[in-house]
Amino acid sequence: MIHKTDIKISIIILFCLICKLSFSQDSTNISVRMMHYMKLNEYKKLHGNLTKEDSLSLKFQDSDTLVLLTKDKLPNSIKVPYEQRDSIFLDLYTDVVFNKNKSTENIKMKYWKEDIKLFFDKSVDKDLKKELLEFAKSISSKIDSLTIYEVKERTASNFFIYEINENSDYKFEPRIKKWNGSGYYINWDGRQRLYQCNLEINRMQLFNKKLLHNKVKQTFFKALGQFYVIEKLDCTSLFSNCYKGSDQISSIDIELLKYHYSYGICKGTDLETFEEQHKIAKELLEKANHHLEYYYND
Amino acid sequence: MKKIILCCILSTISISSFSQETDLEILRNYQSVNLYKGNIQKDSLKTKNTIILKNDTLVVVSSKNKDVFNLSYGEINDNLLKEYKNIVFGNEEKRNNYSYKKYEIKLWNSPINLFFHKKVPKYLKQELTSLINEINTNIDSVQINIVNKKEASNYFIYITNSKNKEELHPNINTKRSISYNLQSNGLNHIYSGVLRINLESIYNKEEQIIKLKRLFIGSLGIFHLSDSLKCNNFLSSCYTVNKNLTKMDIDLINFHYKNKFDQKVNLNKFEKIISAYIEKNEFTDNVIIKL
């Protein structure tokens, strides 16, 4: 008898469990309401004194007074998660973008917002054009927000490539000077967006085919973000000051370029801002392991 | 418990001091750790300057240290060293001049493939070719070939005349009757060069030959001419048509090519390296010097 009741109870328990399981499957659609709070002193700096509504929704945490932000007070832009990177990677990145430790100028990070539309002048050697196009395509396929393709008319392009050789000596861009074999002249706007580039290939200066091809590739690569060359990477890297060509674009080059064109960093900033932001982000992550987001202003 | 805390503190200190050294590691070759594991044994895996990514880890497979030099100078002859400094960094009495301070050791890091323009006269070609043969036999680390395709060459010699307004090579000094221009990378390794000679302003054949030879030798490392060398040396600043490749010339060029530095070396750095080398007193090959 005792046994039977025991079984009954266990059956009831089992049922209950099954019910609970099926219930929980039903309730997957949890609605979450995001609330944004700001410290009182910071709120006053941005929006002035508190309104009546604000003071009704005050919250106290630790020793801070927090004000609830209404929808109209939130920034009107896209939120993107902060991309965490280690200090060694950031060290390389600041070297190639800001020319850290070497430049005294206040260099700002520059990038292409529009698609890069290449136009090749008829003076450009066919082999070189083919190789450069393949190179550009392989970069374009690896970086999401960087699109490079060839256009058939110069008027529709924003990246003009020409060659100086024994048959063609017209220098389309006289501002390109001092270069050995290949150089570029690039334009950017006030928001540090690159929008037009002229690239010169000079076969008179560098007549060795292989050397010239490598030189042009590196010059083209540098024009993708007004990059600087560094000594920290070896000669297989396009960011090195001794690039000797390689079959494939090295993984570190791709990673640096990917980061440059990712949404997880602020665009167009200078070194000081960049380092400050990373310092704050690192401190916050260490303190609370929060999910950090940037407001991306388009 | 106290011991553990002490250990923690010590290890954090050592980590932070390591990170300060990172700047000196140059010429890093990064590879994905997955690729690396397959090729090389795990215990040789370096952890310094490793980059951790979301889906991958990049490790340094090879690198150089900026303050470590691997030298093979052998015995050092004081007179040779003095002359060497004269030809690489300029004559001693002029070295205080500001423009001399920028001179650095530069050398070819690949075979020189020479191409002559079709207008270069035969006698010049022959004379230079015989000098090149001499260099090739006497100087181990310099290799000079003569090629017949311009696109396969990395050294181009052409002639010019006073009527030539358009210069074939835009980077060259057009005011001089004979001059060269070399291109080098960030490690001061020369990879391409041109030499032009104006046969109208240098009309004497003997003079043409000597000046061409002298400049060609100079372009093996952007050499200056020494005031203290004897007149028959090519690297002497004194001018005469009776010059040949002397033992001194050969020794100087050999000395220059004994070490291929992977960074820029100016006089200041060179003197530090040499004095550290002499201090170590080993004078064999592959002596490791740490500055």
Q: Are A90 and A221 in the same domain?
A: no
Task: For chains A and B, count residue pairs whose Cβ atoms are closer than 8 Å.
Answer: 90
Encoded tokens for B232: 């028959």
In the predicted model, is pLDDT for residue B35 greater than 80? no
Predicted pLDDT at B61:
87
Chain B neighbors of A86, CB-CB under 8 A: 51-52
pLDDT at A256 over 60: yes
Mean pLDDT to the nearest integer, B250-261: 94
From the CA of B208, how many Å to the nearest CA of chain A? 24
Residue among A68, A62, A22 at smallest CA distance from A43: A68
A19 occurs within a structural domain: no
Q: Who wins on pLDDT, A69 or B265?
A: B265
- Rounded distance between C-alpha atoms, residue A238 and residue A222, angstroms: 8
Residue pair A166/A206 in contact (Cβ under 8 Å)? The answer is no
Q: Which of B56, B169, B185 shows the shortest C-beta gap to A241?
A: B185
For residue B150, the chain A residues in CB contact (below 8 A) are 207
Who wins on pLDDT, B240 or A292? B240
Query: In angstroms, rounded to a whole number, what is the distance separating the alpha carbons of residues A202 and A181?
Result: 5
Lowest-confidence segment of A27-31, A106-110, B208-212 by average pLDDT: A27-31
Distance CA A47, CA B247 (A): 83
| Same domain membership, residue B182 and residue B62 | no
Residues B61, B86 within the same domain: no
Q: Are residues B95 and B31 in the same domain?
A: no
In a domain, A5, yes or no: no
- Residue B45 is predicted with a pLDDT of 63
Over range A29-38, report the average pLDDT: 74
H/E run at residue A260: helix A251-260
Average pLDDT of chain A is: 85
Which has the minimum average pLDDT: A136-145, B230-239, B275-284?
A: B275-284
Q: Are B119 and B206 contained in the same domain? A: yes
Joined tokens for residue A207 = 């007549």
pLDDT on residue B168: 64
pLDDT bucket at B257, cuts 50 / 70 / 90: very high
Same domain, yes or no: A252 and A279: yes
Q: Which of A183, A205, A225 is the last residue of a domain?
A: A225
| Nearest residue of A to residue B195, measured between CA atoms | A205
Instruction: Report the pLDDT value the prediction gives residue B5, as an integer from 0 to 100.
Output: 44
Query: Which of the residues A180, A209, A229, A286 would you substitute to probe the B interface, choosing the one with the greatest number of B C-beta atoms within 10 Å?
Result: A180
Which residues on chain A are in Cβ contact (under 8 Å) with B36? none
User: What number is the ipTM of this complex?
Assistant: 0.87
Q: Which of B29, B192, B263 sits opposite A236 (nearest CB)?
A: B29
Tell whether B50 and B136 lie within a shared domain: no
Considering the domain architecture, whether residues B58 and B104 belong to the same structural domain is answered as: no
Whole-number Å distance between alpha carbons of B69 and B9: 34
Q: Is B1 a domain residue?
A: no
Q: What digits encode the pLDDT tens for the residues B145-191?
A: 999 999 999 999 999 876 665 566 767 777 888 999 999 999 999 99
Last residue in a domain, options A225, A253, A280: A225
Instruction: Indicate whether B10 belongs to any domain.
Output: no
pLDDT of residue A18: 42
SS3 B152: helix
Place of tokens 């423009």: B99
- The gap from C-alpha A232 to its chain's centroid, in whole angstroms, comes to 21
Counting the structural domains of chain B, the total is 2
Residues B49 and B149 both lie in one domain: no
pLDDT band at A128 (very low <50, low <70, confident <90, very high): very high
Identify whether A179 is part of a domain. Answer: yes
Q: Which of B9, B37, B66 is the last residue of a domain?
A: B66
How many Cβ atoms from other residues are within 10 Å of residue A258's Cβ?
16
Tens of pLDDT along A179-236?
Answer: 689 999 999 999 999 999 999 999 999 999 999 999 999 999 999 999 999 999 999 9
CB contact under 8 A, B28 and A234: yes
> B126 and B29, same structural domain?
no
pLDDT at B205 over 70: yes
* pLDDT more than 70, % of chain A: 87
Shortest Cα distance, chain B CAs vs residue A53, angstroms: 44
Per-residue pLDDT, A22: 41
> What average pLDDT does the structure give for chain B?
86
Q: Which of A57-71, B103-117, B182-196 has the lowest mean pLDDT?
A: A57-71
Q: What is the mean pLDDT of residues A146-174?
A: 93
Nearest to B170 among A205, A211, A231 (CB): A205
Domain hosting residue A212, numbered range: 111-225
Mean pLDDT, range A112-131, rounded to an integer:
96
Residue-level pLDDT at B36: 63
- Whether residues B30 and A233 touch (CB distance < 8 A) is answered with yes
Q: What range does the domain containing B196 cover? A: 75-268
Among A128, A185, A171, A122, which Cα is nearest to B170's? A171
d(CA B123, CA B129): 10
- Asked whether residue A188 falls in the same domain as residue A261, the answer is no
Which has the minimum average pLDDT: A162-176, A229-243, B131-145?
A: A162-176
Number of H helices, E strands in chain A: 8, 11
Please indicate, yes or no, whether residues A132 and A203 belong to a single structural domain of this protein.
Answer: yes
CA of B180, closest CA in chain A: separation in Å? 12
Place of tokens 């292409």: A112
Q: How far apart are CA B239 and CA B77, in angstroms?
A: 26
Q: What is the average per-residue pLDDT within B271-282? A: 92
In a domain, A12, yes or no: no
Judge whether B222 lies within some domain: yes
Residue B281 has pLDDT above 60, yes or no: yes
The predicted pLDDT at position B184 comes to 94
- Measured in whole angstroms, the distance separating CA B146 from the mean position of its chain's CA atoms is 21
Same domain, B57 and B183: no
* A221 and A239 assigned to the same domain: no
Q: Tell me: the pLDDT tens digits for B116-126?
A: 999 999 999 99
Is residue B48 in a domain?
Answer: yes
Q: Kindly state whether residue A11 falls inside one of the protein's structural domains.
A: no
pLDDT of residue B46: 67
* Whole-number pLDDT of residue A11: 45
| DSSP state for residue B159 in the 8-state scheme | E
Last residue of a domain, one of A187, A205, A225: A225
User: Which of residues B38 and B78 earns the better pLDDT score?
Assistant: B78
* The pLDDT of residue A25: 46
Do residues A203 and A250 share a domain? no
Q: What is the mean pLDDT of residues B38-44?
A: 58
Averaged pLDDT for residues B229-251: 94
Is residue A114 less than 8 Å (CB to CB) from chain B?
no
Mean pLDDT of A51-56: 80
Interfacial B residues in 182-201 facing A (CB < 8 Å)? 183, 185-187, 189, 191-192
Nearest to B80 by CA among B223, B228, B220: B228
If asked whether residues A172 and A240 sit together in one domain, one would say no
H or E element at residue A163:
strand A159-164
Same domain, residue pair A171 and A101:
no
**Is B274 within the bounds of a domain?**
no
**Is there a single domain that holds both residue B35 and residue B174?**
no
Q: Report how far apart, in Å, the C-alpha atoms of A248 and of each of A119, A182, B52, B149, B268 are.
A: 24, 21, 21, 28, 38
Chain B residues whose beta carbon lies within 8 Å of the beta carbon of residue A237:
30
Question: Which of the two residues, A155 and A26, has the higher pLDDT score?
Answer: A155
In a domain, A24, yes or no: no
Q: What is the mean pLDDT of residues B211-236?
A: 95
Most confident of A165-169, A195-199, B4-8: A195-199
Q: Give the pLDDT confidence score for residue A24 in this predicted structure.
A: 44
One domain, residues A69 and A85:
no
Whether residue A1 is contained in a domain is answered as no
Task: Give the mean pLDDT of A16-43.
Answer: 61
Domain co-membership, A64 together with A135: no
B193 falls within a domain = yes
Domain assignment present for residue A17? The answer is no
Query: How many independent structural domains does chain A possess?
Result: 3
**Other beta carbons within 10 Å of B11:** 10
What are the DSSP calls for B117-137, one per residue?
Answer: -TTS-HHHHHHHHHHHHHHHH
CATH code of the domain covering residue A126: 3.40.390.10
Q: Name the token pair of B247.
A: 């033992």
Structure tokens at B111: 């075979």
* pLDDT the model gives residue A290: 64
Pair (B59, B111) in one structural domain: no
Contact A236 B263 (CB under 8 A): no
Does residue B20 register a pLDDT over 50?
A: no
pLDDT, tens only, B43-100 = 566 678 889 888 888 988 889 999 999 999 988 999 999 999 999 999 988 888 887 8
pLDDT digits (tens, 9 = 90+) for A69-102: 877 777 777 777 788 888 999 999 999 999 988 8
Contact status of B275 with chain A (Cβ, < 8 Å)? no
For residues A179 and A120, membership in a common domain is answered with yes
Give the minimum alpha-carbon distance from A97 to chain B in angstroms, rounded to a whole number. 17
Answer yes or no: do A234 and B62 touch at CB < 8 A.
yes
Q: Specify the range with the lowest mean pLDDT, choosing from A15-19, B72-76, B171-175, B193-197.
A: A15-19
Residue B85, amino acid: K
Among B155, B158, B151, B150, smallest CA distance to B114 is for B155
Same domain, B147 and B247: yes
Q: Is residue B121 part of a domain?
A: yes
B86 closest CA partner among B237, B265, B217, B268: B237
A98, A84: one domain: yes
